[in-house]
Amino acid sequence: MLTQNRMQYVVQTTDNMSTVISNLDILGGKPIIKNTRISVEIILEWIASGATEKDIVQYYPHLSVEDVRDAVRCATSFVRAETSA
């Protein structure tokens, strides 16, 4: 689920934990993995270049595979919201 207010986006995962957030004070409001400065955008760039979840987690050991999947879910939510608007 994607919720929005003026300052922050939050993506709720299936366990109701907010993994992806967006705050205007962090990276200009780009969606990031909570408690990091790793953006959804950079994770998508890794995937687009052929990286696997395992590759990303090895490079960023403080991320979990579920964090990477949540980033993809976040991007999907944004695209879905844009196309249904």
Q: Rg (Cα) of the chain, in Å, rounded?
A: 12
Highest-pLDDT range among 28-37, 47-56, 67-76: 47-56
2-84: CATH topology is Arc Repressor Mutant, subunit A (1.10.10)
- Collapsed DSSP state (helix, strand, coil) of residue 51: coil
Q: How confident is the model over 48-73, as a mean pLDDT?
A: 96
- Regarding predicted confidence, which is higher, 16 or 38? 38
Q: Is the pLDDT of residue 71 over 80?
A: yes
First to last CA, the chain: 16
Q: Is the pLDDT of residue 43 over 50?
A: yes
Confidence of residue 11 (pLDDT cuts 50, 70, 90): low
